[in-house]
Structure 1
Amino acid sequence: MIYKFRAILDTKEDIFRDIAIEQTDTLEDLHNAITNAFGFDGTEMASFYMCDDNWNQEFEIPLFDTGEDSDEVRTMNEFILEDNLDKHHTKIIYVYDFFNMWTFFVELAAIEEKESDLTYPALLFSHGEIPAEAEDKMFEADGGFDEDEYDEDELDMFDGEDSFEDFGFEENWN
């Protein structure tokens, strides 16, 4: 069977690609198909995030294991599409290039029979041009520093050379 996905770039403009891929392929194969469809070189870090029906992130699936304990992290090449996505679980978020945060909403739109005249993965439809730069996104923690939220003693803690004495660090601790 073939999975047909729509990958929508998170921008003000409508920019998306429809991709067909075999159900036995991995999330890494889908990653490669998305980067090719949008014209990225594929050399940056990326992750998928499993989601609920409301696009709330559940857990991360990275391209590479960047942790110290490799037994705890499963990477994209370990996730077979048909084992993780089906008609009841259709939504995943894809982030490419963590410096620029190209973010995509990827949804399984259809499960169909394989067409003998197509080579998979296949780009089925392309709409919109990708901008030169990713749009800035405002994350919850990006609200900035507001001095009004802190009292005078809390702000004084960060002033002066000896501001970290109370934390138990020695002058040349490293």
Structure 2
Amino acid sequence: MVYKFRVILDNEDDVFRDIAILSDDTLEDLHNAIFNSFGFDGMEVGSFYTCDDTWNQEDEISLFDTGDVLGEQKIMSDYQLADILDKENTKIIYVYDFINMWTFLVELASIEEISVGAIYPETIFSHGEMPEDSGEKIFESDMEQENYNEFEDDLDDDDLDMFESDNNFEDFGFEENWN
């Protein structure tokens, strides 16, 4: 069987590729097809993440074994596409280059018969140009920093005076050298 995927760049720009690949190919084969179809050089690593129907990220499937015990962790080459994707489970997230965090939403669009003479994997449709950078991603720690900055803005000068470093700990009810 042939799996046809729509691979959408998670970015403000409308950029996606449609890729046809055999259902018994591996996630590593899909990884290669994705970075080739988007014009990456393949010099960076990537990971797939299982997800639910609303794209909430779940388990990581990495390109290389990064576990503490070699061989304990399953990697992309251990999974055939049909092992994790089917008519009910159609979505997976792909992240390429962990410095730039190129993030793609990968959805199984159809399952079809093999076309005689076709070579798989194949980019069957391409829309949009890749932007220069992956765009700004907001992570939880960034949101925590934003919340801290909002808290700090609410403090006035009198509140901040008590944090001056005059080392006068008597005002706080304990001794400087308590131990």
Considering the TM-score relative to the shorter chain, is it more than 0.5? yes
Structure number with the higher helix fraction is 2
Number of matched residues? Answer: 156
One-letter amino acid of the counterpart of residue 25, structure 1 = D
**Radius of gyration: which is bigger?**
2
Following the alignment from structure 2 to structure 1, what is the Cα–Cα distance between the partners of residues 70 and 50? 20
Would you say 1:51 and 2:46 are equivalent positions? no
SS in 1 for 2:83: helix
- Among the aligned pairs, what percent are the same residue? 59
What is the Cα deviation at residue 70 of structure 1? 2.7
What is the Cα deviation at residue 57 of structure 1? 1.2
Following the alignment from structure 1 to structure 2, what is the Cα–Cα distance between the partners of residues 16 and 89? 20
Q: Which residue in 2 is equivalent to 1:125? A: 125
Runs of 5+ consecutive residues of structure 1 not aligned to the other structure: 160-174
Matches within 5 A, 1:50-69: 50-69=50-69
Following the alignment from structure 1 to structure 2, what is the Cα–Cα distance between the partners of residues 12 and 134? 10
What is the Cα deviation at residue 69 of structure 1? 1.6
SS in 1 for 2:137: coil
Matches within 5 A, 1:12-161: 12-143=12-143, 144=145, 146=148, 148=151
Note the aligned Cα RMSD (angstroms).
2.2
TM-score where L is the length of structure 2: 0.81
What is the Cα deviation at residue 72 of structure 1? 3.4
Following the alignment from structure 1 to structure 2, what is the Cα–Cα distance between the partners of residues 94 and 34? 9
Following the alignment from structure 1 to structure 2, what is the Cα–Cα distance between the partners of residues 109 and 59? 22
One-letter amino acid of the counterpart of residue 43, structure 1 = M
SS in 1 for 2:73: coil
Deviations 1:8-49 (A, max 9, x none): 000111100000000000000000000000000111111000
Runs of 5+ consecutive residues of structure 2 not aligned to the other structure: 153-158, 168-179
